[in-house]
Amino acid sequence: MKHNAVYGYARVSTKDQNEARQLFALQECGVAEENILLDKQSGKDFNRPAYRRLTRKLKPGDTVFIKSIDRLGRNYDEIIEQWRILTKEKQAFIVVLDMPLLDTRQKERDLTGVFIADLVLQILSYVAQTEREYMKQRQAEGIAAARARGVRFGRPARKKPEAFPALFEAWTKKEISAREAARQLGTTHKTFLAWASGIRL
């Protein structure tokens, strides 16, 4: 497969303003300025018009340079999916500047380059997934330990009005309805019943 066009892709968010560093690195490795596509978006908004434009442009044998692997996606599942699309569906080469092993151009000589790149991606994905699971486990253990010490989570309990005990007693004796008790307490029927049931609000 011969090499055709060479592109660079950069992505920055409002919290990660390293646009100049990425653009400089891409130009240093020979990507023409007009062939560098840049997306800017906030952390939670992953709308990427430039990346979509890039994938439409790509033809078999084209090469895409990126500064680091996390430019392809928000998590490793997404990164692996984009890697598959670019290398298998689009049949393009990918070069990750921060990780020399992630360079599929070696495919022209043998399958070793692609095999190593895919293997590295799988290892990164496994490590990332394992770390996410460890973090969830540590968080759960921390919450359990805090609860054992009497720490309460969530918003503070809503304090019952001083008149609640008397109205609660009247309600239990069926002297007034729950709705009437709630009205006198200045709260909702549902809240009064929750208080009466001992539910913490």
What tens digit of pLDDT does each residue of 75-92 get?
778 888 898 899 889 999
Q: Per the domain annotation, does 53 fall within a domain?
A: yes
Split into its structural domains, the chain has a count of 2
Full residue range of the structural domain in which residue 178 is found: 164-196
Could you tell me if 174 and 98 lie in one domain?
no
Q: Per the domain annotation, does 135 fall within a domain?
A: no
Q: Which of 54, 61, 14, 15 is nearest to 35 (CA)?
A: 54
Contact by Cβ (8 Å): 93, 8:
no
92-103 average pLDDT score: 88
Q: Per the domain annotation, does 52 fall within a domain?
A: yes
AA identity, residue 45:
D
Catalytic residues: 13
CA distances to 68, 105, 155, 194 from 165, in Å? 63, 77, 23, 14
Q: What is the DSSP code string of 160-192?
A: PPTTHHHHHHHHHTTSS-HHHHHHHHTS-HHHH
Contact by Cβ (8 Å): 113, 107:
yes
Strand partners, 65: 8, 95
pLDDT given for residue 72 in this prediction: 85
pLDDT > 70: percent of the chain: 83
Q: pLDDT of 2-53, one tens digit each?
A: 558 999 999 887 655 668 889 999 999 999 999 999 998 754 556 789 999 9
Could you tell me if 99 and 169 lie in one domain?
no
DSSP-derived letter for residue 109 is T
173-196 average pLDDT score: 88
CATH of the domain at 14: 3.40.50.1390
Order the strands of the 6-12 sheet from edge to edge: 36-40, 6-12, 63-66, 93-96
